[in-house]
Amino acid sequence: MLCLGIETSCDETALALVRDGKCVESVLATQMDVHALFGGVVPEIASREHYRFLGALYDELMRRTGLTLADVDVVAVTRGPGLLGALLVGVAFAKGLSLAGNKPLIAVNHLHAHLLAVGLEHELLYPLLGLLVSGGHTHIYRVDAPESLELLGHTLDDAAGEACDKFAKMLGLPYPGGVLLDRLAQRGAADAHLFPRPYTHVDNLDFSQRIEDGRADVSQRTSRARGGGQACPRSRYRLGSPALCDVCASYMLAVAETLSLKMEKAFHRERQKGITGIVVAGGVAANTQVRAAMHVLAEKVGKPLLLPSRFLCTDNAVMIAHAGELLACKGYGQGLAFPAIPRGQKLPDDLGELRAPLHSL
C-alpha cells in the first residue's frame, strides 16, 4: 500500500510517501528561521507559510519519485493537535487530493504518529510503554496497538521541549533553543544538584515544572547559577564559555532524570500488563542526555529501548504516512467531513472513531 502523509501542525511543512512500512521519499520545509525572528511560533505566519509551500512540496515529492496521485492508495493527514490555521491548510489539501483522486482519507493524531514512528525502524511488539516529549507535550502512554493508546500521565504546565526552549531563551540563546542546549551540554560537566527534579516524589505519572513546596522555581535557579541578579532574558554567559556549557549540561540532566524517574514509576505500574519495551518519541527524544537516561532506564527494568533516529524524532511527514498506513491496513478511515482538532481540544483517543471499511483498498 502506498500512503501519502501530510504534516502541517506547527512550523514544519512536510509530505512523505510510505509503502509497506518503508519510507519511499519525503520532503520538508522548515519555518524555523522566520519564527526565530519573533522568539517563538507565530500562528498566522505558520498558516501562511504552509499555504505558500504545500503545493510546491507536493509537486517536488512527485517529481522526485516519478509517481502521481493515481499511484497513491491512501492519503493521511495530521488532524491535530496543533495550531488550528496550520492544521486546516494540511487538512484542506488532503481533502482536495482525496476528492480529486477518489482516495481514502486517514485523519492522524500527531502525538500517536510520533510514538508509532519507531515502527519504521524496529518491529513493534505491543503493549509498549511510550514517552512523548515534544514542544507542546510531555505524555506517558501505554501503546496497545496503532489505534489504541492509553494516556497514563501528562504535564500539568510546560512541556519538556517548551521548558528547554524557555531555558535557552533565559540564557540568551536563539529560538528554538533545544538543539543548541543539547550541543552546548555535550561540552559541559553536569552538576546534579543545581536544578531540581520537580514533581518526581508525587505518586502519579504527571509532570510539572513547579516545585510545590515553595522553594525556588527553575528560572530562579538559573539566575543563581549565573551569580545572582534577576532572571533576565539577557544572559551573562558568553556563547560557548565553559560556564554556559556546564549550566546547559546540568539543566538537561535534570530534564532527562525527571523524565526517567516518571517513566520508571510508569513501568512498575504497568508491568503486569506485559510491557514489552520502552519507546521515546518527539523532538526532545533527539536529546543526547535524554537518550542516555532512557538507555539506563531500559537496562534497569530489563526491557528493550526503541529510540527513533533523530530525524524521526522531530516533526516530519514520514511518521504521518506510517501511522496512516497502519490504520488503513486495519480498515480505518474518515469521510471528507472530519474536522481539524487544535491543541487544547480533546482528540478522540481512538483514531478510528469514524471507522468505515475502506472498500477501495
Could you list the residues that contact Zn ion (CB under 5 A)?
134, 315
Which listed option, ligand KG4, Zn ion, none, makes contact with residue 164 (CB within 5 to 8 Å by class)? ligand KG4
Which listed option, ligand KG4, Zn ion, none, makes contact with residue 136 (CB within 5 to 8 Å by class)? ligand KG4
Q: How far is the CB of 145 from Zn ion (least distance, A)?
A: 21
Site for ligand KG4 in 226-285 (CB under 6 A): 282-284
Q: How far is the CB of 136 from Zn ion (least distance, A)?
A: 7
Q: Is 161 among the residues that bind ligand KG4 (CB under 6 A)?
A: yes
Say how many Å lie between the first and final Cα of the chain, rounded.
Answer: 8
Q: Is 342 among the residues that bind ligand KG4 (CB under 6 A)?
A: no
Of 25, 49, 182, 246, the residue at the interface with ligand KG4 (CB under 6 A) is: 182
Q: How far is the CB of 282 from ligand KG4 (least distance, A)?
A: 4
Please identify, using beta-carbon distances, which residue of 165 and 315 lies nearer to Zn ion.
315
Q: Is 176 among the residues that bind ligand KG4 (CB under 6 A)?
A: yes
CB 181 within 8 Å of CB 251: yes
Site for ligand KG4 in 274-333 (CB under 6 A): 282-284, 286-287, 314-315
Determine whether 126 is exposed, middle or buried from the number of CB atoms within 10 Å of its CB (0-12, 13-18, 19+).
middle
CB 306 within 8 Å of CB 279: yes
Rounded Cα distance between 275 and 293, Å, is 19
Which listed option, Zn ion, ligand KG4, none, makes contact with residue 284 (CB within 5 to 8 Å by class)? ligand KG4
Please identify, using beta-carbon distances, which residue of 88 and 113 lies nearer to ligand KG4.
113
Rounded Cα distance between 335 and 352, Å, is 11
Residue 149: in which H helix or E strand, if any? Answer: strand 148-154
Which listed option, ligand KG4, Zn ion, none, makes contact with residue 246 (CB within 5 to 8 Å by class)? none
Q: Is 164 among the residues that bind ligand KG4 (CB under 6 A)?
A: yes
Please identify, using beta-carbon distances, which residue of 25 and 182 lies nearer to ligand KG4.
182
Q: How far is the CB of 164 from ligand KG4 (least distance, A)?
A: 5
Q: How far is the CB of 264 from Zn ion (least distance, A)?
A: 24
Q: Is 72 among the residues that bind ligand KG4 (CB under 6 A)?
A: no
Rounded Cα distance between 141 and 132, Å, is 8
**Sheet containing 105-109: order of strands:** 22-30, 12-19, 2-7, 74-80, 105-109
Alpha-carbon torsion, ordered 103, 105, 111, 114, to 10 deg = -20
Side chain identity at 203, as an amino acid letter? D
Please identify, using beta-carbon distances, which residue of 136 and 352 lies nearer to ligand KG4.
136
* Residue given cell 515544572 in the structure block: 209
Which listed option, Zn ion, ligand KG4, none, makes contact with residue 165 (CB within 5 to 8 Å by class)? ligand KG4
- The closest of 327, 318, 341 to 80, measured between CA atoms, is 341
Please identify, using beta-carbon distances, which residue of 14 and 328 lies nearer to ligand KG4.
14
Exposed e or buried b per residue across 304-331, where buried means at least 16 C-beta atoms within 10 angstroms of its C-beta:
ebbbbeeebbbbbbbbbbbbbbbbbbee
Please identify, using beta-carbon distances, which residue of 5 and 333 lies nearer to ligand KG4.
5
CB 126 within 8 Å of CB 145: yes
CB 151 within 8 Å of CB 349: yes
Stretch that binds ligand KG4, among 19-27, 49-57, 134-142, 328-336 (CB under 6 A): 134-142
Across 8-104, where does the E strand assignment appear? 12-19, 22-30, 74-80
Q: Is 6 among the residues that bind ligand KG4 (CB under 6 A)?
A: no
- Residues belonging to the chain: 361
Please identify, using beta-carbon distances, which residue of 8 and 134 lies nearer to Zn ion.
134
CB 140 within 8 Å of CB 152: yes
Stretch that binds ligand KG4, among 40-48, 133-141, 209-217, 300-308 (CB under 6 A): 133-141
Residue numbers of the site for ligand KG4 (CB under 6 A)? 10, 134-136, 161-162, 164-165, 176, 178-179, 181-182, 282-284, 286-287, 314-315
